[in-house]
């Protein structure tokens, strides 16, 4: 079903999706002279796992920061479920169900792993000043603990539940952060390189878990440099370079052609991309884009052939 | 055994300082003052204190026993220097009742006793003045506290033309006063801001650099009889050394240990406290005046009349600030300073020796603070030096530097000028003892409207 | 000669005396700010000032009964915290530090200003607002009570009892809060604000609540102290006082419920003994220690506190008893 839908979406930057949960328009953010993000239009389809790829410095993290309110764009607006999010503070974004993790992990080292998890539970009345004094939060805390332990087991962190998060390894912190985000029952979860530093065996089981999240109706957007992972789970892939979305397409389409991948992560990595005032590629970049697009189309055609 | 009856104030205010003797142990004390200050920075404070304080000899008198009254005295001196005798001086209590009165003797000296500690108004009886003598300030409000020597100074002189002139002349005078004060704040504030810009440290001990500079200059000037200009130059050198010592002994190691922001702030305030009270021990709690440039008269320059020392303060501050600007714009080290302030990591990766630049910033800031201390005392405190002067100035520096943009050099200057003018303007409308209030209020206002300050960038503050 | 018995007796009296109570309350407030919330309040004494003066002015100027004066003092603390927090709590930690120390100094200047004499008593301060507090005393106010050589005047004993009761209640409140989910959020904020934002918590609100709570402890400290001494003098509320409370807090251990109280007791015990020792040793015509002037003893304690603060923060931020791994003061 997903595959059929995705096959109908044209593989071009800014493509319209049938049921987008996040719609972004003309968002830009510059640091000094660097245009870190400059996206004309981008939609994320509800219920899909969307992979976001691109070379280092492409602007993926900055885009995450903008969308979740951690950074303010120079221009642009975006909506989540049709509601504009542009001016909201990070915690408001998170409460509306758009939850992110950080590329550089932010496990709270001086809290236990379990407390990290319970901290994320929404609606805890004990987190209100007077609620804390009333002492009726104990039962909620118990329920949250149960849910937290389930997730921790899934992420193979249950043995560490009562250790300080500061004692976890780098990969375990990634896991904890992902589990913590899931404690919030988000509608959309945005993961910034969640698998970096996680061992392959666990990666496999986590991917299964992410897929099951999708099957429960959650939308997942994640940044990843590992093409195998991308190929394995993403329904759709967005390619960024130098702040722009330069290609979109189905993962099979991209992964079917290693040349595309190399174009972004390999040989053209350090080439300066050039665009004219309207945002159209020029010169070398235009040729590169044309090449990629034709290859994408070819790949998609092959994909359709296969499915037919 | 002493009962713990009424609680003694933990404030520990020094009850008596009148025993302070300048000339005898002066030489020792001056050197020691510097030593103690530097020793405190290098962690040797205790031994330095333990071995170096000379005995006070006759000066360490026991606290005066309960007396029925408290003496207040003064000398009446006309503008031309003649001593005024036979002039009646009255003391009025808070309710306006006369509690004491006396008449000045042939040396112009008068002395009276008030019954209890508290606030009194001292007044010259104009009727008793010799003909031709006019009073500028014939009423002085003063707190009389036990154990301190209460001196009351009245000012005489012809009515200044300025007092009767138009509002625009008053405005001009206030503006010039404000600019003068703003420049002095600016001289010290630029250093504070540059330290913040290059190291991320808000140096709460910056006020003490100012005080120590002024106190050193005072010691050289008054105790050793060195002309104030030379004394100031030496104090500037010492200030630079102190700045360097602070960085090398404390902040460089802290940076190397990657101490957090909060730890650094607490350390800097601890340092400020220790230094301030070392100065109090060395210098005493009273205001002491410089030996030079007292008793200055205003010269009329057509559109404005101004005393020589105020004019000199403005000229020197401007010259120094232009010098600092040239340093920042033209020299290699200045450009490096701006680069480090702009982006420390980038500067480091482009081959700038950040630690060297930071050391230089501290040297510059220390020198500027010392100069600022002398100018502050000369122009704003009526030619006197006082152990808390730096702390008072620090709050205005913060106001100015934040108003301009923490971390910027030119913003700091601009902000300090604004604060200086604001303080002087507000003194026209609010009571003089609340003069600094306007400057501090601006601090809160700017944080509400534009926390990055006039010239700051928004990335820095969050 | 040094009178060791009196040194000790004074030391023990200081251990539980009004100063220890006052600074324990200030430090409990700072513990909420600094120890749990990572907020750097350099003007805690200003909260004590508005507490004490709020009460004094309400009683003397507006003629309210003492109990409502106490409420006014507490509300004044809340208002001050809101005023200072709104502009600064979104910014780097320095800004709060600067604004609080400036505000404390502004408040002192205002209360001592001659233009405010009718209102706050100017430099003379206020007296005569707390008579009804002493009337409540079950002790004989004018009598000395002797506890194994440590003597207290009845009126002080009453104030001390009330003071420690308030300290005890404050500790219970802090204890309940920091072990609750609210306290967990606060500790998490101290460690990494962005992580907490990403989890949907309004960091600003929590910081503000912490600032207000700690400020109220400061105001209560001011109220209790003003009731003990029965007088308010503006120059008592000078900026360095805040750092006595910081020293006490860090000695006892920031971020621990009992830290500020233990710290404050130790602090005043040590300070009283060194102070008395120095005063005795430097007094008289043939002093034991001749290189320190008797008059300088008061100033020396400030130097010692300053040095202690810097040295502790640099080398033992966890305090005397704490474990290094538990402190988070070095976090940004
Ligand atoms: N706070 C900042 N200040 C200045 N420049 C920044 C800042 N954050 C990001 N940039 C710049 O913006 C660009 C995009 O950075 P971003 O972190 O979004 O890349 P990314 O796609 O996440 O890369 P990676 O795959 O390495 O994580 C880079 O050139 C980076 O240098
Ligand atoms: Mg990234």
B32 or A128, higher pLDDT: A128
Q: How confident is the model at residue A1 (pLDDT cuts 50, 70, 90)?
A: low
Is A181 a domain residue? no
Q: What is the pLDDT of residues B114-169, one digit of tens each?
A: 887 778 888 888 777 877 777 777 778 777 877 666 778 887 765 444 445 577 77
Instruction: Verify whether ligand 1 is closer than 6 Å to residue A242 (CB atom).
Output: no
Domain shared by A87 and A13, yes or no: yes
C3 pLDDT exceeds 80? no
Which domains does chain B carry? 10-51+165-460 (1.10.3470), 70-148 (2.60.40.10)
Phi-psi label, residue C128: left if phi above 0, alpha if psi -120 to 50, beta otherwise: left
User: A89 and A199: one domain?
Assistant: yes
Closest atom of ligand 1 relative to the A63 alpha carbon: 18
**Confidence (pLDDT) at C282:** 77
Sorted by where each begins, the domain ranges of chain C are 4-237
Q: In the structure encoding, which two tokens stand for residue B159, read together?
A: 């009515």
Nearest CA to ligand 1 atom 31: A57
The reported pTM is 0.80
Whether A175 is covered by a domain: the verdict is no
Q: Which of C173, C201, C213 sits opposite A91 (nearest CB)?
A: C201
Name the band, by pLDDT with cuts 50, 70 and 90, for residue B19.
very low
* Cα–Cα nearest to A94, from C203, C291, B188: C203
- Residues whose CB is less than 8 angstroms from the CB of residue C102 and which lie 6 or more positions away in sequence, other chains included: B395, B398, B399, B440, B443, C43
Question: What does the pLDDT average to over A269-281?
Answer: 55
Query: Which of the listed residues A52, A57, A65 should we mutate to test ligand 1's pocket, taking the one with most ligand atoms within 8 A of CB?
Result: A57
Q: How confident is the model at residue B370 (pLDDT cuts 50, 70, 90)?
A: very high
CATH number at residue A87: 3.40.50.300
Tally the residues of chain A. 308
Please tell me the predicted confidence (pLDDT) of residue B18: 37
Higher pLDDT, B296 or C309: C309
What total number of domains does chain A contain? 3
Domain annotation covers residue A182: no
Please indicate whether, in this complex, the C-beta atoms of C180 and A133 are within 8 angstroms of each other. Answer: yes
**Plot region of B383 (φ>0 → left; ψ -120 to 50 → alpha; else → beta):** left
Range of the structural domain that residue A239 is part of: 1-107+187-268
**pLDDT-based confidence at residue A254 (cuts at 50, 70, 90):** low
Report how far residue A246's alpha carbon sits from residue A260's, in angstroms, rounded to the nearest whole number: 11
* pLDDT greater than 90 at residue C46: yes
Q: Quick one: pLDDT at residue C286?
A: 72
Residues of chain C with Cβ-Cβ distance to B444 below 8 Å are 83-84, 87, 99, 103
pLDDT at A204: 83
Taking a C-beta distance cutoff of 8 angstroms, is the pair A208, A219 a contact?
no
Return the residue whose CA atom lies nearest to atom 6 of ligand 1: A31
Q: Determine what percent of chain C is predicted with pLDDT higher than 70.
A: 94
Report CB contact under 8 Å: C309, B278: no
Which pLDDT belongs to residue B21?
36
A152 and A3 in a single domain? The answer is no
Q: A136 and A72, same structural domain?
A: no
Surface-to-core class of residue C181, CB atoms within 10 Å of its CB (0-12 exposed, 13-18 middle, 19+ buried): buried
Please give the Cα distance from B447 to B442 (Å, whole number): 8
pLDDT band for position C143 (50/70/90)?
confident
pLDDT, tens digit, for every residue of A135-192?
Answer: 788 888 899 999 999 999 988 888 988 988 888 888 888 889 989 999 999 999 999 8
Same domain, A159 and A285: no
Q: Does A65 contact C at CB distance below 8 Å?
A: no
Instruction: Please state the rounded mean pLDDT for residues B25-45.
Output: 41
Looking at the structure, tell me whether residues A35 and A146 fall in a common domain.
no
- Better pLDDT: A295 or B364: B364
In a domain, A26, yes or no: yes
Among residues 98-137 of chain B, which lie with CB inside 8 Å of chain C?
A: 118-119
Q: Give the largest CA-CA distance in chain B.
A: 77
Instruction: Say if residue A234 is in the same domain as residue A290.
Output: no
Burial class (CB in 10 A: 0-12, 13-18, 19+), A30: middle
Q: What is the pLDDT of residue B452?
A: 81
pLDDT value for C268: 86
* A236/A132 same-domain check: no
Does A253 lie in the same domain as A157?
no
User: pLDDT tens, B383-423?
Assistant: 889 999 999 999 999 999 999 887 788 888 899 999 999 99
User: In terms of CA atoms, which chain C residue is nearest residue B47?
Assistant: C291
Does the complex come out with an ipTM higher than 0.95? no
Same domain, A217 and A264: yes
Same domain? A87 vs A162: no
Distance from CA of C216 to the nearest CA of A (A): 14
pLDDT for residue A66 is more than 80: yes
Whether A176 is covered by a domain: the verdict is no
Residues A264, A275, single domain; the answer is no
Confidence label for B43 from pLDDT (cuts 50, 70 and 90): very low
pLDDT computed for residue C44 by the predictor: 96
């Amino acid at each position: 079903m997903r595959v059929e839908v995705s096959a109908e979406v044209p593989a071009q930057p800014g493509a319209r999706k049938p049921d987008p949960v996040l719609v972004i328009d003309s968002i830009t953010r510059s640091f000094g002279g660097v245009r870190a993000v400059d996206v004309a239009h981008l939609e994320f389809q509800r219920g899909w796992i969307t992979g976001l790829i691109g070379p280092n410095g492409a602007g993926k993290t900055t885009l995450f920061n903008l969308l979740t309110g951690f950074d303010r764009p120079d221009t642009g607006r975006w909506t989540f479920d049709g509601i504009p999010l542009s001016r909201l503070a990070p915690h408001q974004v998170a409460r509306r169900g758009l939850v992110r993790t950080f590329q550089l992990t932010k496990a709270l080292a001086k809290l236990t792993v379990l407390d990290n998890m319970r901290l994320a539970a929404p609606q805890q009345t004990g987190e209100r000043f007077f609620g804390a004094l009333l002492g009726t939060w104990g039962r909620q805390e118990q329920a949250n603990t149960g849910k937290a332990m389930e997730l921790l087991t899934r992420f193979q962190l249950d043995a560490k539940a009562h250790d300080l998060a500061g004692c976890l390894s780098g990969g375990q912190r990634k896991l904890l952060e992902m589990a913590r985000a899931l404690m919030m029952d988000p509608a959309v979860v945005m993961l910034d390189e969640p698998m970096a530093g996680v061992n392959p065996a666990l990666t496999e089981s986590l991917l299964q878990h992410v897929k099951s999240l999708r099957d429960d109706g959650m939308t997942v957007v994640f940044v990843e440099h590992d093409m195998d992972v991308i190929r394995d789970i993403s329904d759709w892939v967005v390619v960024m370079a130098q702040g722009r979305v330069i290609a979109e397409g189905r993962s099979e389409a991209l992964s079917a052609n290693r040349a595309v991948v190399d174009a972004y992560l390999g040989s053209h990595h350090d080439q300066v991309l050039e665009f004219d005032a309207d945002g159209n590629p020029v010169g070398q970049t235009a040729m590169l884009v044309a090449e990629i697009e034709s290859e994408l189309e070819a790949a998609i055609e092959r994909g359709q052939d296969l499915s037919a | 055994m002493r009962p713990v009856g009424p609680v003694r104030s933990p404030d520990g205010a020094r009850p008596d300082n009148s025993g302070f003797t300048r000339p005898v142990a002066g030489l020792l004390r001056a050197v020691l003052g510097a030593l103690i200050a530097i020793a405190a920075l290098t962690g040797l404070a205790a031994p330095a204190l333990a071995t170096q304080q000379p005995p006070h000899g006759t000066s360490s008198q026991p606290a005066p026993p309960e007396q029925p009254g408290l003496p207040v005295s003064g000398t009446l001196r006309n503008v031309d220097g003649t001593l005024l005798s036979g002039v009646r001086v009255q003391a009025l209590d808070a309710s306006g009742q006369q509690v004491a009165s006396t008449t000045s003797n042939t040396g112009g000296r008068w002395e009276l006793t008030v019954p209890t500690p508290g606030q009194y108004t001292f007044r010259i009886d104009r009727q008793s003045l010799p003909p031709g003598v006019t009073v500028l300030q014939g009423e002085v409000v003063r707190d009389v506290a036990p154990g301190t020597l209460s001196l009351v100074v009245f000012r005489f002189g012809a009515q200044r033309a300025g007092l009767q002139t138009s509002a625009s002349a008053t405005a001009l005078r206030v503006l010039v006063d404000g600019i003068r004060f703003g420049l002095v704040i600016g001289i010290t504030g630029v250093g504070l801001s540059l330290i913040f810009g290059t190291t991320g440290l808000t140096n709460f001990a910056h006020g003490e650099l100012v005080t120590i500079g002024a106190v050193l200059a005072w010691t050289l000037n008054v105790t050793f009889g060195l002309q104030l200009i030379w004394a100031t130059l030496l104090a500037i050198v010492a200030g630079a050394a102190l700045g360097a010592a602070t960085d090398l002994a404390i902040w460089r190691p802290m940076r190397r240990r990657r101490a957090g922001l909060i730890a650094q702030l607490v350390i800097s305030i601890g340092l400020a406290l220790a230094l301030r009270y070392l100065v109090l021990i060395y210098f005493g709690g009273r205001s002491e005046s410089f030996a030079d440039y007292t008793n200055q008269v205003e010269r009329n320059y057509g559109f404005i009349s101004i005393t020589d020392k105020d004019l000199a303060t403005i000229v020197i501050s401007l010259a120094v600030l232009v010098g600092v600007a040239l340093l920042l714009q033209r020299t290699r080290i200045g450009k490096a300073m701006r680069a480090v302030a702009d982006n420390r990591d980038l500067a480091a990766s482009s081959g700038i020796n950040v630690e060297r630049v930071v050391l230089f910033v501290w040297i510059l800031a220390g020198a500027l603070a010392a100069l600022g201390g002398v100018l502050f005392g000369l122009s704003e405190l009526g030619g006197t030096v006082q152990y808390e002067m730096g702390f008072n100035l620090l709050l205005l520096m913060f106001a100015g530097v934040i108003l301009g943009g923490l971390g910027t050099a030119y913003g700091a200057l601009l902000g300090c000028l604004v604060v200086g003018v604001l303080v002087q303007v507000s003194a026209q409308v609010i009571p003089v003892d609340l003069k600094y209030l306007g400057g501090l209020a601006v601090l809160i206002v700017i944080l509400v409207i534009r926390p990055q300050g006039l010239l700051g960038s928004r990335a820095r503050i969050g | 000669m040094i009178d060791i018995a009196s040194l000790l007796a004074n030391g023990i009296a200081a251990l539980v005396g009004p100063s220890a109570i006052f600074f324990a309350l200030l430090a409990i407030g700072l513990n909420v700010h600094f120890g749990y919330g990572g907020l750097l309040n350099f003007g805690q004494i200003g909260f004590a000032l508005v507490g004490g003066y709020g009460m004094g002015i309400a009683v003397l100027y507006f003629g309210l009964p003492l109990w409502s004066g106490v409420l006014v003092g507490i509300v004044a603390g809340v208002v001050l915290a809101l005023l200072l927090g709104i502009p600064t709590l979104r910014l780097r930690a320095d800004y709060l530090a600067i604004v609080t120390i400036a505000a404390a100094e502004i408040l002192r200047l205002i209360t001592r200003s001659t233009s405010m004499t009718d209102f706050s008593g100017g430099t003379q301060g206020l007296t005569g607002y707390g008579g009804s507090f002493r009337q409540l005393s079950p002790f004989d106010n004018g009598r000395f009570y002797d506890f194994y050589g440590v003597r207290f005047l009845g009126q002080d004993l009453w104030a001390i009892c009330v003071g420690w009761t308030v300290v005890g209640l404050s500790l219970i409140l802090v204890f309940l809060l920091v072990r609750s989910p609210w306290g967990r959020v606060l500790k998490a904020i101290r460690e990494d604000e962005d992580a907490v934002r990403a989890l949907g918590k309004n960091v600003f609100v929590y910081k503000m609540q912490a600032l207000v709570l700690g400020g109220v402890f400061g105001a209560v400290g001011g109220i209790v102290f003003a009731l003990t001494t029965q007088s308010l003098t503006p120059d008592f509320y000078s900026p360095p006082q805040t750092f006595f409370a910081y020293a006490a807090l860090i000695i006892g251990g920031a971020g621990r419920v009992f830290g500020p109280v233990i710290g404050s007791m130790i602090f005043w015990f040590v300070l009283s003994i060194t102070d008395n020792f120095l005063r005795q040793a430097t007094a008289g015509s043939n002093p034991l220690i001749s290189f320190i002037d008797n008059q300088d003893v008061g100033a020396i304690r400030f130097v010692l506190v300053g040095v202690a603060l810097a040295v502790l923060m640099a080398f033992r931020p966890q305090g005397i008893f704490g474990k290094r791994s538990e402190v988070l003061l070095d976090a940004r």
